[in-house]
């Protein structure tokens, strides 16, 4: 199947009460692990590509890998820009073949965020590309983004509802207490904000910082209206642990396939578990 916009499965996700995972691509092995998990679970999926990952892999390589994975798997797969920082970057990705983009204007004042997001939505929707917007500031570190705990601000529900009404984004990321990277304690998720916003908008809410969130909190968030959940750190941890252990036990090993292969399997297992937890297994 060719790459699809997230709208191909997100309205069904909200109606039927499941969430589709966004799993970030960091290299070939991540891409293979994620798509193999999708095939085994018969799950729709979203490849996330951050600007840092695009710089690392090369824009055209990202698109080529995602397209091949989607075509060979036959699954509904979206290739989504994660935390796009500018209109120019969004356009560059759409032109290269992305089927979905996030424009992260959360650091701008509300009016400016609405104005810039609307501009992205107008251009993206004209060519069938879905858009995610963000309101509130999600804490933690992810590539170019580094938000200290004291600077993370939760989304205001009234503002979030207005943001959706005016921008018509296809998925809305709101800061509800999760953070990118690993948590020091247990994240305190504001389920009341999820519930209030979700009841008043037609599209699913996106939960960033999905790694390390307890299973019960994930299930509850989905029941209240979360339809897209982003996971990257848990895959990175699984990958790096296997590489560290393998090289530690075999210091003479030099063939990258010997340690990247098992790392790929470890990532696949994490992704499969998430697909089952999110309820997207069997929904492709």
Q: Which is the catalytic residue, given 82, 143, 202, 215? A: 82
Identity of the residue, 42 or 182, whose beta carbon is nearer to ligand 13P in the bound complex = 182
- Residue closer to ligand 13P, measured from CB, 52 or 262: 52
Which of residues 38, 157, 209, 227 is near ligand 13P by CB under 6 A?
209
**118 versus 228: smaller Cβ distance to ligand 13P:** 228
One-letter-per-residue 3-state SS of the chain: CCCCCCHHHHHHHHHHCCCEEEEECCCHHHHHHHHHHHHHHCCCEEEEEEHHHHHHHCHHHHHHHHHHHHHHHCCCEEEEEEEECCHHHHHHHHHHCCCEEEECCCCCCHHHHHHHHHHHHHHHHHCCCEEEEEECCCEEEECCEEECHHHCCCCCHHHHHHHHHHHCCCEEEECCCCEECCCCCCCCCCHHHHHHHHHCCCCCEEECCCCCCCHHHHHHHHHHCEEEEEECHHHHHHHHHHHHHHHHHCCCCCCHHHHHHHHHHHHHHHHHHHHHHHCCCCCC
**Contact string 223-252 vs ligand 13P (x = CB under 6 A):** -------xxxxx------------------
Instruction: Determine if 105 is a binding residue for ligand 13P (CB under 6 A).
Output: no
Residue number, 145 or 197, with CB nearest to ligand 13P? 145
Q: Considering the rule CB under 6 A, would residue 187 count as an interface residue with ligand 13P?
A: no
Does position 26 interact with ligand 13P (CB under 6 A)? The reply is no
- Spell out, one character per residue from 46 to 85, where the chain touches ligand 13P: x when CB under 6 A holds, - when not: --x---------------------------------x---
261 is a site residue for ligand 13P (CB under 6 A): no
Residue 82 annotated as catalytic: yes
Task: List, by residue number, the catalytic residues.
Answer: 82
- Residue ranges that bind ligand 13P, judged by CB under 6 A: 48, 82, 142, 180-181, 208-211, 230-234
């Amino acid at each position: 199947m060719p790459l699809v916009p997230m709208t191909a499965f997100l309205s069904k996700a909200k109606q039927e009460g499941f969430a589709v995972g966004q799993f970030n691509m960091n290299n070939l092995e991540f891409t293979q692990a994620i798509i193999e998990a999708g095939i085994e679970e018969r799950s729709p999926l979203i490849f996330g590509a951050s600007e840092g990952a695009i710089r690392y892999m090369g824009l055209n390589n990202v698109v080529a890998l995602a397209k091949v994975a989607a075509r060979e798997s036959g699954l509904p797969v979206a290739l989504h820009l994660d935390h796009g920082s500018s209109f120019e970057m969004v356009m560059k990705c759409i032109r290269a073949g992305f089927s979905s983009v996030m424009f992260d204007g959360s650091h701008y004042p509300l009016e400016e965020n609405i104005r810039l997001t609307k501009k992205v939505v107008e251009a993206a929707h004209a060519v069938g590309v879905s858009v995610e917007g963000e309101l509130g500031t999600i804490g933690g570190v992810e590539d170019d983004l580094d938000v200290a705990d004291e600077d993370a601000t939760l989304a205001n529900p009234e503002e979030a509802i207005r943001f959706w009404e005016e921008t018509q984004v296809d998925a809305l990321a709101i800061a509800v207490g999760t953070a990118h990277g690993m948590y020091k304690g247990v994240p305190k998720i504001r389920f009341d904000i999820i519930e209030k916003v979700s009841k008043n908008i037609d599209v699913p809410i996106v939960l960033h910082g999905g790694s390390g969130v307890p299973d019960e909190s994930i299930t509850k968030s989905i029941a209240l209206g979360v339809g897209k959940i982003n996971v990257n750190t848990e895959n990175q941890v699984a990958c790096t642990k296997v590489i560290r252990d393998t090289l530690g036990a075999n210091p003479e090993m030099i063939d990258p396939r010997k340690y990247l292969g098992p790392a790929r399997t470890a990532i696949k297992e994490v992704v499969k578990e998430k697909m089952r937890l999110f309820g997207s297994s069997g929904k492709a």
